[in-house]
Every structure is written in C-alpha cells, then in structure tokens.
Amino acid sequence: MRKVRLIIVFLIVGLLASCTSPNDSSNPRDETIPHEDLIELTLEELSYYDGKEGRPAYVAVNGMIYDVTNSLFWQSGSHNGYSAGRDLTDAIINQSPHGLSTLTQVPIVGILVESKD
Ligand code: HEM
C-alpha cells in the first residue's frame, strides 16, 4: 500500500514538472534571436546611441551590441565613468569588477560591423 502511494506521489510530481514551461523567463538569452531581428551598426553609427537626450543607450562587447537603455546602472548612458555608444570590450573585461557576467542582464539588439558595403 505504501509503495502504491509513493508511485502516485511520483506521478503527480512528474506531471506538475512537465506542466511548467522552461521558457517562461523574460531573459532573451533563453531564445535564439533570429538574425533578421538584429540591427547592424558600424562604430560610427553606434556612437549615436549614447543614451543622452532621449537617445537609446547601446554598448558593443565582442562584436555584439547590447541595449542598456533600461538598466538602472546605465542612467543617461553612463556607468562608472564609461559612456554608451562605444565598444567597451576591453573595459568590461579588464576594468570592471564583474567581467562579462552582467551581459546576461541586458538584451542583445545587434552586431557591430566594420562597414556597410
Ligand atoms: C559594457 C557593458 C556593461 C554592462 C552591461 C554592465 C552592467 C552592470 C550591471 C547590470 C551591474 C549591476 C551589478 C550586477 O548585477 O552585478 C554593474 C555593476 C558594476 N559595473 Fe558594470 N557593466 C558594464 C561595463 C562596466 C565597465 C566598463 C565598468 C568599468 C569599470 C563597470 C563597472 C561596474 C561596477 C564598479 C559595478 C558595481 C556597482 C555599481 O555600478 O555601482 N561596468 N554593471
């Protein structure tokens, strides 16, 4: 009888576990972003997205462009002496205390390209 009860408990737990969706997190890194949804910006174009005067704040790291506009740590496009609109690969790896780990908290919006031809 105890065995039967145990089996029933396992069945219920298994059923509940299969009902919860593994994709209900809002982290964009859980899904692959279709390439056509990514914008392509040169360094020069990226400099427009500095987070000042209502402009979005984008930063490039290792060829990817991250949108930090809504990050509490990037008010007006500035963060610990660094400005958005730039490639901060070297700074985030060699100067920041967190390294690349915080990039999972901000959405990827594009890729950095050398030129548009
Ligand atoms: C390039 C993209 C960067 C992103 C997306 C980013 C994001 C963040 C986030 C989300 C935090 C909050 C703390 C946490 O969750 O661990 C944080 C903290 C911090 N970051 Fe960055 N960061 C970047 C670059 C840098 C750079 C270049 C520096 C240079 C020194 C830096 C220095 C710091 C420091 C000192 C903190 C501690 C908390 C504070 O801001 O007062 N970060 N960063």
Q: Which of 96, 103, 106 to mutate to test the pocket of ligand 1 (most atoms within 8 A of CB)?
A: 96
pTM given for the model: 0.76
pLDDT digits (tens, 9 = 90+) for 81-106: 999 999 999 999 999 999 999 999 99
Residue of minimum CA distance from atom 16 in ligand 1: 102
Q: Which of 64, 67, 79 to mutate to test the pocket of ligand 1 (most atoms within 8 A of CB)?
A: 79
Q: Does 91 sit in the ligand 1 pocket, CB within 6 Å?
A: yes
Task: Return the pLDDT at 33.
Answer: 73
Residue of minimum CA distance from atom 8 in ligand 1: 102
Task: Return the pLDDT at 9.
Answer: 56
CB-based contact 89:46 (threshold 8 Å): no
Task: Return the pLDDT at 97.
Answer: 98
Encode 5-39 in three state secondary structure: HHHHHHHHHHHHHHHCCCCCCCCHHHCCCCHHHCE
Q: Go through the domains of the chain in sequence order and give each one's CATH number.
A: 34-117 (3.10.120.10)
- Of residues 14 and 73, the one with the higher pLDDT is 73
pLDDT digits (tens, 9 = 90+) for 9-68: 555 545 444 444 444 434 445 556 777 789 999 999 999 999 999 999 999 999 999 999
| Nearest-angstrom CA–CA distance, 71 and 77 | 9
Q: Does 106 sit in the ligand 1 pocket, CB within 6 Å?
A: yes
